[in-house]
Amino acid sequence: MEYAIITKDLTKYYGDFLAVDRVNLRVPFNTIYGFLGPNGAGKTTTIRMMCGLTNISSGDAIVNGHSVRKEPEKVKASVGVVQDISNLYPELTCFDNLMFSAEMHGVPKRLRKERVLELLEFFDLEDKKDEKFANLFRGLKRRLTIAAALVHKPKILLLDEPTLVLDVKSRRKMWALIKALKEEDITIFLTSHNVYEVSHLSERVAVINKGRIVAEGKPSELKRLVPYDETIELGVSDPKRLLERLKGVDVIDRAYLDKGTLKVVARDSLVAIEEISQVLREEGIDVNFMSLRSADMEEVFLKIVEGEGVGRFKQGDLHSQEGH
């Protein structure tokens, strides 16, 4: 079995509203798979259908080899689910919350305490063992919620917006934790609207917008999916003179000054650099620095959801992953 999760035309209607429209995904085992989209795109509905928390209107999801529609109990035993709002009890201690979760997930009584202590150690929560959940800081609450989802040793972890409302320090700790979980051979399906987070953590990314998958691939592949210009940034001794000389150069779309740095947007960066170098030599202008900046993932994401370049991607293309 090659894939941890396969969705087949997964669809969800709420009345007449089409929330998720024939989503096809293949998530390999032992990977971090990012599911990226703006708020309201269908991320949470998709993840809830994958684990049986929301009824599927049509299509199916195969999770750890089991059909959500035909074998929901086997699916639930295979996955840990962390929703954007914690389901732990505020009045219970960290230890008691995990013990209760172990009981709910069917962990044998004789093994529960050992598993709970193991999780408290892994998540660096040993010193919070007897602290009430309500008294924890947000980052610690998030960690304990993830620990509770792993109490039955699932092979797959579904994380819905794991760093929502966390501060910068707590967010970075969460990223390190997610990477550590992957090293424990857990497949992680990560939903987020945070572009940097998904591109930083994920080996593959699917972009959903208005319920439909509009792009899928490695972060580097998504950058090639949409057309974009590259920006050449220069620090020179006489930027105004260079700016004037670059007017009318065919390959340059625009050039402008930004706080003393000359920025040149070009369709073909290599040809543009040759043209710029020639002008620099002719004018005797000294160069302090020259750098080339391609589009970052946030720019790529915005172009994808706005429809630029989407015509190059079809959901059927996902089936070609089997050959990779």
DSSP string for residues in 122-135 = HTT-GGGTTSBGGG
pLDDT single digits (tens) 130-181: 999 999 999 999 999 999 999 999 999 999 999 988 888 888 999 999 999 9
**DSSP-derived 3-state class of residue 85:** coil
pLDDT single digits (tens) 212-265: 999 999 988 887 776 666 789 999 999 999 999 998 888 888 889 988 899 998
Of 287 and 222, more confident: 287
Q: What is the pLDDT of residue 118?
A: 96
pLDDT band at residue 266 under the 50/70/90 scheme: confident
Q: What is the pLDDT of residue 251?
A: 84
Q: What is the pLDDT of residue 128?
A: 97
Cα R_g (the chain), whole angstroms: 24
- pLDDT of 319 above 80: no
Q: What is the mean pLDDT of the chain?
A: 89
Nearest residue to 193 via CA among 203, 182, 205: 205
What is the arithmetic mean of pLDDT over 113-125? 96
- pLDDT of 121 above 50: yes
Domains defined for the chain, CATH in brackets: 3-223 (3.40.50.300), 231-294 (3.30.70)
Q: What is the pLDDT of residue 76?
A: 94
Is the alpha carbon torsion for 104, 121, 153, 20 positive or negative?
positive
Cα angle: 320, vertex 200, 225; to 5 degrees:
40
Give 197-254 as a DSSP string. Answer: HHHHH-SEEEEEETTEEEEEE-HHHHHHHS---EEEEEEES-HHHHHHHTTT-TTEEE
- Lowest mean pLDDT, pick from 7-16, 26-35, 154-163, 262-271: 262-271
What is the arithmetic mean of pLDDT over 56-66? 97
pLDDT band at residue 324 under the 50/70/90 scheme: very low
Nearest residue to 47 via CA among 82, 94, 4, 22: 82
Q: Do residues 64 and 75 touch, judged by C-beta distance below 8 A?
A: yes
Q: Do residues 219 and 202 touch, judged by C-beta distance below 8 A?
A: yes
Helices (H), 65-218: 72-78, 94-104, 109-122, 138-149, 168-183, 195-201
Indicate the length of the chain as a whole number: 324
Strand 17-28, strand 3-14: pairing: antiparallel
pLDDT band at residue 322 under the 50/70/90 scheme: very low
Q: What is the pLDDT of residue 270?
A: 84
